[in-house]
Structure 1
Amino acid sequence: MTQTMNRTALAYLTAATTLPAGSVLALRVAVNLAKWSERRCTRAALGKLDAHDWRDIGLTEGQALRETQKPFWRA
């Protein structure tokens, strides 16, 4: 998945169609796995940047380090 589905999209999809409960559960699991994967990759990339790059994106060194140390399941 190149883009993760947000809660609004998930709510729309489940409301627009009548899905069996197992399908809704599978969809929720897939959405969470995609979010976690995106967070893991984004935080790994952030950890490879230097202080100049962090300033360019508006982060202090402390903010960047805190973000890279978060586990993937935390927003």
Structure 2
Amino acid sequence: MTQTITRPALAYLTTATTLPAISVLALRVAVAVAKWSERRRTRQDLHKLDAGGLRDIGLTQAQAWREGQKPFWRP
């Protein structure tokens, strides 16, 4: 299972230590790219589920299709 840094963790990291501005920017970019990658992968996996798998997670075919059509940058 992948784990991404959430906004509170990033806020703690940037306030608990004195990081240069470029480091803070690099962290924010890294977090955004990790979230985008996870969204893309999970949406691709959603398309691979059959009706039984979708039923297990409580989604219909239409809901899964709509979620899968979102671009990776949209939550």
Would the TM-score normalized by the shorter structure come out above 0.5? Answer: yes
One-letter amino acid of the structure 2 residue matched with residue 37 of structure 1: S
**Whole-angstrom CA distance in 2 between matches of 1:39 and 1:25:** 21
Render the CA deviation track for 1:12-70: whole Å, top value 9, x for unaligned: 10011111100000000000000000001101111100111111101111111101111
**Whole-angstrom CA distance in 1 between matches of 2:66 and 2:4:** 23
**Whole-angstrom CA distance in 2 between matches of 1:53 and 1:37:** 22
Dislocated runs of 4+, deviation >4 Å: none
One-letter amino acid of the structure 1 residue matched with residue 56 of structure 2: D
The RMSD of aligned alpha carbons is 0.7
Match of 1:54 in 2: 54
Number of residue pairs aligned between Structure 1 and Structure 2? 74
SS in 2 for 1:37: helix
Match of 1:64 in 2: 64
One-letter amino acid of the structure 2 residue matched with residue 49 of structure 1: L
**Whole-angstrom CA distance in 1 between matches of 2:41 and 2:66:** 15
Aligned ranges 1:33-48 → 2 under 5 Å:
33-48=33-48
**Percent of paired sites with the same residue:** 74
